[in-house]
Amino acid sequence: MNEQQRVLVVGANGTVGRHVVTGLLTGGTEVLALTRDPARAAQLPDGARLVPGDLSAARTLAAAAGQADAVFLAWPLHTAEGAAEALAALTGNARRVVYLSSAAVRDVPGQEPESPGRPDAAIESLIAGSGLRHTFLRPHGFMANALRWAAEIRTSGVVRGYGGAAGLTLVDERDIAAVAVRALTEEGHDGARYALTGPASPTQAEQVRIIGEAVGRPARWEEIPRAAARQQMVDSGWPLGIVDGALDFVAARIDAPEPVTDTVRDVTGTPARTLRDWALDHAELFR
């Protein structure tokens, strides 16, 4: 039974948000979709109502304010600046917020997040202090991140990167969205901090092989030095404040692969999708 009447989805055209929109509509929940660009309305599924607004300017969020019973919040900005004002505007009459946070957030007071420089912990604190009922989704890496390898798999079948031996669990963005839909529309998720993973923690080199096999284009990993990887990240626009933390994170997973959780199955009743499933469903992008 849907308790919520209307859900505002922030990041409705995003990697996770677009599946949240579809899941809510399928379940009969009314959806308001926030976007900075009204021209994107055509990309939304039928039934979602577009609401204009920019998270970085709270005054633009007036149209979205006070209209929803619950909010799915993505915060795809590099800092938490302006988040208090934006949160207050977006959650006007809402009873509940489900925040797309990150597995990097730590609950131990004083313990640094694993990706320093990210705003997720600050946004969690804001929400926790707001008095709103809330659920924090803390996904590990999205399977969609593997799309950064698509051009190399298509052209040469060789993916060059640092940390091929690092064991990383990737979670399918559709599974994150399925958990979000449950948390937005069901009772029983208040105060939860859901660590979301896929069903396994393959090394990056194994991930490339799995994708190549699934899509029918054999692919392999070729290791490059950390310094070269760092330069590539900087050249491609990674904020300087998070590059080294991201590389440290990968280095630490060479001897200690990320653990997996059963949270997707526990919350949705369906096991987390595998990387092979994901690759088969996105195969045309790798061929």
Q: Give dist(CA 10, CA 283) in Å, integer.
A: 28
Give me the least distance between CB of 52 and ligand NAP, in Å please: 9
Count of residues near ligand NAP by CB under 6 A = 25
Q: In this chain, which of 21, 25, 74, 184 binds ligand NAP, going by CB under 6 A?
A: 74
Q: In this chain, which of 2, 5, 56, 270 binds ligand NAP, going by CB under 6 A?
A: 56
Which of 269, 270, 140, 165 minimizes the C-alpha distance to 221? 165
Give me the least distance between CB of 63 and ligand NAP, in Å please: 12
Q: Two tokens at 188? A: 């029983």
- Give, in degrees to the nearest 5, the angle at Cα 138 between 136 and 142: 135
178 binds ligand NAP (CB under 6 A): no
Per DSSP, the chain holds a count of helices (H) and strands (E) of: 10, 11
Q: Which of residues 130-159 bind ligand NAP (CB under 6 A)?
A: 139, 141-142, 145
The 98-137 site mask, x for binding ligand NAP (CB under 6 A), equals --x-x-----------------x-----------------
Question: Do 12 and 34 form a contact (C-beta atoms < 8 A)?
Answer: yes
Query: Element (H or E) spanning 206, and its range?
Result: helix 204-215
The 4-43 site mask, x for binding ligand NAP (CB under 6 A), equals -------x-xxxxx----------------xxxx--x---
163 binds ligand NAP (CB under 6 A): no
Task: Indicate the SS3 state at residue 176.
Answer: helix
Q: Give dist(CA 244, CA 3) in Å, integer.
A: 44
Binding region for ligand NAP (CB under 6 A): 11, 13-17, 34-37, 40, 54-56, 74-77, 100, 102, 120, 139, 141-142, 145
